[in-house]
Amino acid sequence: MGVLAGRTALVTGASRGIGRGIAERLGRDGARVAVHYGRNEAAAKETVAAIEAAGGSAFTLGVELGSPGDAEALWEEFDRHADGLDILVNNAAIGNSRPIEEIDEEEYDRLFAVNVKAPLFLAKHGMTRLRDGGRVINISSGLARTAAMPHNMAYAMAKAALDVLSRDLSKVLGPRGITVNSVAPGLTTTDNTAEFLSTEAGRAMAEGISALGRVGAVDDIADVVAFLASDESRWVTGSWVDATGGSLT
User: What residues are annotated to the active site?
Assistant: 155
The alpha helices in 80-229, defined as continuous H runs, are 105-112, 118-126, 153-173, 194-197, 200-209, 218-229
Sign of CA dihedral 119, 12, 233, 31: positive
3-state secondary structure of 43: helix
∠ Cα 165 143 27 (to 5°): 65
Q: How far apart are CA 168 and CA 138, in angstroms?
A: 12
Instruction: Kindly list the distances between the CA atom of residue 41 and the CA atoms of 38, 64, 122, 211, in Å, as whole numbers in the listed order.
Output: 8, 11, 20, 37
Furthest C-alpha separation in the chain: 53
- Give the alpha-carbon dihedral of 33, 37, 42, 47, to 10 degrees: -30
Q: How far apart are CA 166 and CA 114, in angstroms?
A: 16
Amino acid at 202: G
Question: Count of CB atoms within 10 A of residue 199's CB?
Answer: 10
Question: Count of CB atoms within 10 A of residue 249's CB?
Answer: 10
